Amino acid sequence: MPIPAEVERRVRRLVLENALEHDGAPRTGPVVSRLLATDPSLRPRAEEVRSRVAELIAEIAGLPVAELTDRLAALGGAEAPRAETPRESDTGLPALPGAVAGQVVLRLAPFPSGALHIGSGRMLFVNQAYRERYDGKLLLVFDDTIGSEEKRVEVEFFDLILGDLELAGVRPDQVLFKSDRIAAHYPWARRVIDRGAAYVCRCAQEELRDKRQRGLACPERSQTPEEAAAEWERMLGGAYAPGEAVLRLKTDLADPDPAFRDRVLFRISDLDHPRVGHRYRVWPLLEFSWAVDDVELGVTHVLRGKDLVVEDRMERYVWDLLGIQGPPFLHWGLLRVREAKVSKSKSYREVKDGVYDGWSDPRTWSLRSLDRRGISMAALREFTLSFGLSLADIEVPAETLYAENRQRIDATTLRRSFVPAPVRVEVDGYPFDLAEVQLANHPDRAELGTRAVPAGPAFYLAQADLAHHAGAEVRLKDLVNVRLPSEVPEAGGTIRAAFTSRPNQRLPRLQWVGASGAVGVDVLHPDGTHAVGLGEAALRRAAPREILQFERFGFVRVEENWTAATEPVRVVFAHP
């Protein structure tokens, strides 16, 4: 679907305005951020908007100021300041049914098998927003029922998840563990059995699967409550080995969803649990455990993804069976960030095998990895809540999140020079008085001051820039104009260029680093690759975790464990 005509006109206007503000060299990021901040309807189309902005910037490249001014005037001149549109997080979350301020109790229920990731944002921030709105309580209940050989509970993840919540600014009122409450579920199981609604099934897995698909009952389904209770006690007493018996709920064998036909309530496991060891052999499945705990813990509203509707059905089925009024459920659809290939199981393997350098590796898309890149949790919260509780599955480009983060950090982030894959360029005829120059720390914020930057006559420029402009006259950004040779070596080589003039002309602008004092830089990208190059001398004074913008490259964060005594300067790429 094409961008509406009124939006296209506004995009053109803002690109021209930005070009005039920045010496004929407009920047994509600020234009996109302004568009998305003032028109949230564009956020799901952020990638398309960014592409169109880049096309228009390329279209006006090299135009003289007079023509830029005329084009902007034809569109009505510079746009009047426009207030940011209130986000849905401020106005769009629906009221919780029957909620009473001060009495709302919500719960988070992570399974401790890895770090929380970008997909966990909705669980965290929606619950937190409602807790704040109603001055309620938020419980953290670790869903640490016994896992499987492939998906095991590990003790390290309890502290890891608690740290993730702290990072996200979500502080639960109480921390509970499902493994501490296993015995509390057994009386509920007996109540279901006594109503003739459950039986102990000893069918082989394949046989049972076949019967369920065909809507046929297994022989044990005819157990009387007394027989089922006796078999249940045998399960609890250790008469059966894992896989030999399960407790099943009697549901409709003709249910349209085969998965809901006679679902398992309890199973047997001899796996060692990291918190309770072998204290229990009979473990509830999660949906039954929540039918119990949502009532016993006083949860007033359950907020979760619509992919858990079967779990909703199970809870309601048990409550109806026992004559209990449980809390209502509110759901949201799946929110995917297109570039985020989230797989907890893959991340677990790669972290354990040392392929990833821990859970903060950018490839995990964990909360820790976003923080490492310089993407704030406040930006993630606004990004997440801007989609409200829509049940529609939504897929958006990462640029939507990046625009939110850029808007928060752009005005206070110092600019620095960096060139990847550098080539040394020695400029003949370079003015001797420009061996050092004062450059602004921010193009729009004079209060952030300036820094002294070593300049020519020798520079480092990116090999890709030199190859693209071989033989052309170019401007070294904010400095002088030079003529490049037509032959360009590979990175690490040296060439000679010729000084042509000082005045700012409409020429291609190239980022440079003065050869004097240049420092090695290693940039870790979100896909795990590295860009190696050179940066200006001021990078030696960078602080660990400091966010910087490498001009014409993107925002980066200095690694937490980097020290000024070591080279290269190690940074992680955040976004353009």
Least confident interval from 203-212, 488-497, 502-511: 203-212
Element (H, E) at 156: helix 156-168
Q: What pLDDT does 86 receive? A: 43
Rounded Cα–Cα distance for residues 160 and 29 (Å): 34
Q: What pLDDT does 431 receive? A: 96
CATH number of the structural domain spanning residue 554: 2.40.240.100
Q: What tens digit of pLDDT does each residue of 372-392 get?
A: 999 999 999 999 999 888 888
Between residues 322 and 155, the one the model is more confident about = 322
pTM: 0.86
Identify whether the C-beta of residue 32 lies closer than 8 Å to the C-beta of residue 400.
no
Residues 131 and 160 in one domain: yes
Residues 192 and 236 in one domain: yes
Q: Do the domain assignments include residue 81?
A: no
323: containing domain:
91-334
Q: What pLDDT does 23 receive? A: 61
Reported confidence tier of residue 142, pLDDT bands at 50, 70, 90? very high
Residues 376 and 436 in one domain: no
Q: What tens digit of pLDDT does each residue of 336-349 get?
A: 999 998 888 889 89
Residues 60 and 135 in one domain: no
Q: What tens digit of pLDDT does each residue of 151-161 get?
A: 778 889 999 99
Residues 312 and 395 in one domain: no
Q: Do the domain assignments include residue 83?
A: no
Residues 35 and 153 in one domain: no
Boundary-marking domain end, from 384, 412, 440:
412
Check pLDDT > 60 for residue 88. Answer: no
Report percent pLDDT > 70 for the chain.
Answer: 95
Least confident interval from 38-42, 238-242, 512-516: 38-42
Q: What pLDDT does 46 receive? A: 72
Rounded Cα–Cα distance for residues 191 and 315 (Å): 15
Reported confidence tier of residue 74, pLDDT bands at 50, 70, 90? confident
Segment 291-309 shows an average pLDDT of 95
Q: What is the DSSP letter of 426?
A: E
Q: What pLDDT does 150 receive? A: 64
Boundary-marking domain end, from 334, 362, 386:
334
Residues 254 and 364 in one domain: no
Reported confidence tier of residue 535, pLDDT bands at 50, 70, 90? very high
Q: Do the domain assignments include residue 494?
A: yes
Longest dimension (CA), the chain: 101
Between residues 270 and 9, the one the model is more confident about = 270
φ and ψ at 299, to 5 degrees?
Answer: -65, 130
Q: Which of 346, 238, 329, 336 is nearest to 287 (CA)?
A: 329
Check pLDDT > 90 for residue 368. Answer: yes
Segment 220-234 shows an average pLDDT of 95
Identify whether the C-beta of residue 231 lies closer than 8 Å to the C-beta of residue 238.
no
Domain count, the chain: 4
Whether the upstream peptide bond of residue 457 has omega within 30° of 0, thus cis, is: yes
Distances, alpha carbon 156 to alpha carbons 162, 360, 432, in Å: 10, 15, 60
Between residues 212 and 399, the one the model is more confident about = 399
- DSSP letters for 264-327: EEEEE--PPBTTTBTS-SEEE-HHHHHHHHHHHTT---EEEEGGGHHHHHHHHHHHHHHT----
φ and ψ at 39, to 5 degrees?
Answer: -145, 80
Across 43-47, 145-149, 393-397, the highest mean pLDDT is recorded for 393-397
Check pLDDT > 80 for residue 411. Answer: yes
Check pLDDT > 80 for residue 61. Answer: no
Report percent pLDDT > 90 for the chain.
Answer: 68
Residues 111 and 226 in one domain: yes
Identify whether the C-beta of residue 106 lies closer than 8 Å to the C-beta of residue 301.
yes
Between residues 70 and 539, the one the model is more confident about = 539
Q: Is the dihedral of CA 347, 553, 533, 465 positive or negative?
A: positive
Q: What tens digit of pLDDT does each residue of 105-134 get?
A: 999 999 998 899 999 999 999 999 999 999
Q: What pLDDT does 204 receive? A: 81
Check pLDDT > 90 for residue 42. Answer: no
CATH number of the structural domain spanning residue 178: 3.40.50.620
Residues 137 and 194 in one domain: yes
Tell me how crowded residue 240 is: count the other CB atoms within 10 A of its CB. 18
Q: What pLDDT does 1 receive? A: 62
Q: Do the domain assignments include residue 80?
A: no
Residues 386 and 491 in one domain: no
Instruction: Please provide the average confidence, as pLDDT, over all residues in the chain.
Output: 90
Segment 70-77 shows an average pLDDT of 80
Q: What pLDDT does 461 receive? A: 97
Residues 235 and 365 in one domain: no
Least confident interval from 62-66, 200-204, 413-417: 62-66
Q: Do the domain assignments include residue 40?
A: yes
Check pLDDT > 70 for residue 24. Answer: no
- DSSP letters for 355-382: SSSSTT-GGG-BHHHHHHHT--HHHHHH
Residues 234 and 327 in one domain: yes
Segment 234-238 shows an average pLDDT of 96
By CB atoms closer than 10 A (0-12, 13-18, 19+), residue 434 is middle
Q: What pLDDT does 148 receive? A: 63
CATH number of the structural domain spanning residue 386: 1.10.1160.10
The contacts of residue 23 (CB under 8 Å, 6+ apart) are 504
Check pLDDT > 90 for residue 13. Answer: no
Q: Do the domain assignments include residue 426?
A: yes
Across 216-220, 350-354, 406-410, 420-424, the highest mean pLDDT is recorded for 420-424
> 440: which 2 tokens?
């602004």
Q: Do the domain assignments include residue 339?
A: no
Between residues 432 and 58, the one the model is more confident about = 432
Check pLDDT > 80 for residue 409. Answer: yes
Q: Do the domain assignments include residue 313?
A: yes
Q: What pLDDT does 147 receive? A: 66
Boundary-marking domain end, from 372, 395, 412:
412
Check pLDDT > 60 for residue 91. Answer: no
Rounded Cα–Cα distance for residues 15 and 5 (Å): 15
